Amino acid sequence: MQWGVITEEKLPFKGKSINIDTPYGVARLESTEDFAIARENVKASVYAFKKLGILRVIGIYPGRDLIDGTAKLVSARDMIDFSRGRSYTFFRNKPYGFIAQDPVFCPTLTAYLEEDIPIKEVLLIREGHWLESEAELKAFKGMGVDLIIRGASPEVYLTKELELCYLPLVSQGTISEETLLGFKEKDMGKTCSCQSHMDKARRAGLDDDWQSWIGDER
């Protein structure tokens, strides 16, 4: 099964370009045997992953490790989201999408990858295309922040709403296809609690057809 990858990085993967029509525009993906890679239009891309039958999504984002900058890839168990004005939900005009953010990231993916990459505690998502000031860094460290990135939101919320597994990876160097393929060697199993995020809404009458869940806003 393919994995979905959301990234700002240029990954050295050799694949073909595919376009998937969605209610949020065309999702332009780079498809290999193992990965479907998205670089733009997060909402359309998450919808396209679900449409393609992809259950597991990882994000790869450049970022700063405030504790130890030696690992090429690192992730976290929790987050503080300082992002603003992004399109955070598929359900703006429907009474669904109130999903607990505990755990924030897929526990199965976290357990699956923590033997291969360091898993820190707190990831901070921020706005702006500038480096943090010394005062900001001091404040963030005081809040218990380990990693700083600008991605991962809104995809952390959108993937939950469509019951996809999601984990952000913070990149501090070039990531090879072999590195990601190494994550696929172990048996992760076929089920995860992420696939039941919308069960409460189902009990309240949500239709079984996930494509009917989407709100009116495009």
Containing 123, the helix (H) or strand (E) segment is strand 119-125
31 located within any domain: no
Q: How many DSSP H helices and E strands does the chain contain? A: 6, 9
Residues near 179 by beta carbon (within 8 Å), at least 6 away in sequence = 72, 73
54 located within any domain: no
38 located within any domain: no
* pTM of the predicted model as reported, rounded to 2 decimal places: 0.91
CATH classification of the domain holding 151: 3.40.50.1580
1 located within any domain: no
Cis peptide before 103 (omega within 30 of 0): yes
70 located within any domain: yes
What is the residue-level pLDDT of the chain in tens, covering all 218 positions?
588 999 987 777 778 999 999 999 999 999 888 889 998 899 999 999 999 999 999 999 988 888 777 768 899 999 999 999 898 988 877 777 678 888 999 999 998 888 888 999 999 999 988 888 899 999 999 999 999 999 999 999 999 999 999 999 998 777 777 777 777 766 666 678 898 888 888 888 888 888 887 765 55
11 located within any domain: no
192 located within any domain: yes
64 located within any domain: yes
Per the structure, the count of domains in the chain is 1
Which domain range does residue 175 map to? 60-203
